[in-house]
Structure 1
């Protein structure tokens, strides 16, 4: 029987700097504050496990002013728990804690403790992505901005070999957004390039269907969160009438318990789910959403929530274990000037783990 162990944990803030002004319908992003949780144990001398807690401003349940103070209290509680080096037991004990209001912290703890028990080499889960370097297909993300800026991003993504483009819409003039979509379609058929759009809730229940009908002219694969979350009846009606498949994203945040999750899916009947472990509560929560998606015949794919490469690596490994086959939203590792150097690489629209490369952690994590 595996020996029991307790951990020592610390947390440090880190400000990720965008390479450009990243536009969304909720505003422009220039930096992203994230937090790294480090764990160690006498049972694993000389090893450090690292996880990332990265609440999204204005969106995450744990986007609170006293986040660091609350996180430190949670870490003190976790330090009292006796773990065994058994993946499912570790996940089960963390899932049993009352951390629904701190989903990013639970994900970071899952990641850090699993990393520690697997050798402190940023291996989180047994999967082909890490073990064999098997690549995952991803979409090329086009951020909002002036029309010329968006046009340049689209050209870059196509040149880089992406065959699935995701375009954020809802901030600039809708006619201009349609012009950009028309330009892609005039060059590439639906068979050549898949187009996804993400409205981040920018449409209203009154104008959403009209806009979806216009977007349908461009052979759109799907639209994420066309209207604000919480409007379950309106979203259900839209899913029934829409000419474009609808994917739920923000709608899933803060929905806990299998019954509540299933009720939401049965009420709205979406076509796809967008799964972000940082926002949903980590590995166990994300697995359950995938099971419910399969039960209700709903498609899904994984998306990062602007984490550094620490969090992105964990999400990619989770995706690999869940056998996600569609292009995933895991291309955010190239967003920052000061990202954590890692073995994660992107080539021809796919992300893979190159074991020839090493992790180079920020100096603050080596202190």
Structure 2
């Protein structure tokens, strides 16, 4: 019997339905199409799963022919490995980068994680860490979605009641003064020592008004602001990062930047205080590792965020995050957004996400 095994791939689409109207800077989301990649071999019955989850109007692979391209990759790609030697994540990442174009970051992420799952026995273990084996918890922020003042206030009270010690509020949807009053409401009840506050502007501010707004926001003892101005304004963002009274985190700015030198140039040009990492949007896990290495070399801190994946993708991102030490609050609280998510051992309690070994995975579509 040959020691060479061949992993082949197939996919199934799944329409995720939000349990509320999810307001974003790109409109209100009610549902979202995701795709599950299945990796298997003819030699055994184990299955590895990955998730392809492009974001409408944000992912560079949000394009009309996306599913056709995904179908082509699943039909043509075969990952071969030798049972006599251990397959490493580095080998898997290198292969995925070689055979899947930068144009399809979410596809690359899904293939990376599906192969890792299968190689590790098809038990949803993407990385061998204490998060998977010993229920080591990861601190996360509670996300406040855009909407009218009452809707946002209800979310704030809910997150505070559930024990979150870090809250991230999306801003730019309602009147700025109302948003300031919501932040003031939180600060009137909780100091910066007890509740960490983050805001995400999604590029909503014009460069000429950004500094003034950051000065207003700084009065609320905020941890950081994500993407205060729109992308591709490196000079303006760089100037803002130099004088800001409030730490700035780059998010959308990282999307579509490929190659070590280009990424290095971006970080050296802008010099942000933080970067935010979404593997599905950045090119997968290997590319995310590169961003982290570049940032840490320049004393730029980071945190990981899921990008509206189901629990399948969220599980992979959480396990990947757990391979790093000394983590700040991560953005991994999106598993409770959907009415028809895949049941999983991922549990969010008191502001932490944990992989509960006594819980089982639900059936895939």
Q: TM over 0.5: same fold?
A: yes
Work out which of the residue numbers 300, 303, 315 in structure 2 matches 1:301. Answer: 303
Question: Where does residue 117 of structure 1 map in the other structure?
Answer: 119
SS in structure 2 at match of 1:6? strand
Cα drift, residue 42 of structure 1: 2.2
Question: Where does residue 78 of structure 1 map in the other structure?
Answer: 77
Q: 1:17–1:336: 8 Å Cα contact kept in structure 2?
A: yes
Question: Where does residue 175 of structure 2 map in the other structure?
Answer: 173
Distance 2:326 2:199 in 1: 20
Cα drift, residue 258 of structure 1: 0.9
Cα drift, residue 207 of structure 1: 1.1
Question: Which digits, 9 at most, give the CA deviation of each residue in 1:293-337, with x for residues without a partner?
Answer: 110100000000000000000000000002251000000000000
Question: Which digits, 9 at most, give the CA deviation of each residue in 1:160-215, with x for residues without a partner?
Answer: 01000000000111100000000000111100000000011111111111111110
Cα drift, residue 98 of structure 1: 4.3
Alignment TM-score, normalising by the size of structure 2: 0.96
Cα drift, residue 97 of structure 1: 2.4
Q: Which runs of 5+ in 2 are unaligned?
A: none
For residues 269-308 of structure 1, the aligned pairs below 5 Å read 269-308=271-310
SS in structure 2 at match of 1:149? helix
Distance 1:5 1:248 in 2: 41
Question: Where does residue 197 of structure 2 map in the other structure?
Answer: 195
Q: 1:301–1:324: 8 Å Cα contact kept in structure 2?
A: no
Question: Where does residue 6 of structure 1 map in the other structure?
Answer: 6
Distance 2:10 2:326 in 1: 33
Alignment TM-score, normalising by the size of structure 1: 0.96
Cα drift, residue 3 of structure 1: 3.5
Work out which of the residue numbers 220, 242, 262 in structure 2 matches 1:240. Answer: 242
The verdict on how the C-alpha distance between 1:269 and 1:292 changes in structure 2, with shifts beyond 3 A counting, is same
Question: Where does residue 69 of structure 1 map in the other structure?
Answer: 68
Question: Which digits, 9 at most, give the CA deviation of each residue in 1:247-293, with x for residues without a partner?
Answer: 00000011111111111000000000100000011110111111111
Work out which of the residue numbers 218, 226, 229 in structure 1 matches 2:228. Answer: 226
Distance 2:280 2:348 in 1: 22
Cα drift, residue 133 of structure 1: 1.1
Question: Where does residue 249 of structure 1 map in the other structure?
Answer: 251
Q: 2:10–2:75: 8 Å Cα contact kept in structure 1?
A: no
Distance 2:104 2:87 in 1: 23
Cα drift, residue 77 of structure 1: 3.0
Question: Where does residue 53 of structure 1 map in the other structure?
Answer: 52
Q: Which runs of 5+ in 1 are unaligned?
A: none
Question: Which digits, 9 at most, give the CA deviation of each residue in 1:207-254, with x for residues without a partner?
Answer: 111111110111111000111111111110111111100000000011
Q: 2:345–2:361: 8 Å Cα contact kept in structure 1?
A: yes
RMSD: 1.2
SS in structure 1 at match of 2:194? coil
Work out which of the residue numbers 203, 207, 211 in structure 2 matches 1:205. Answer: 207
For residues 118-137 of structure 1, the aligned pairs below 5 Å read 118-137=120-139
4+ runs deviating over 4 angstroms: none
Question: Where does residue 359 of structure 1 map in the other structure?
Answer: 361
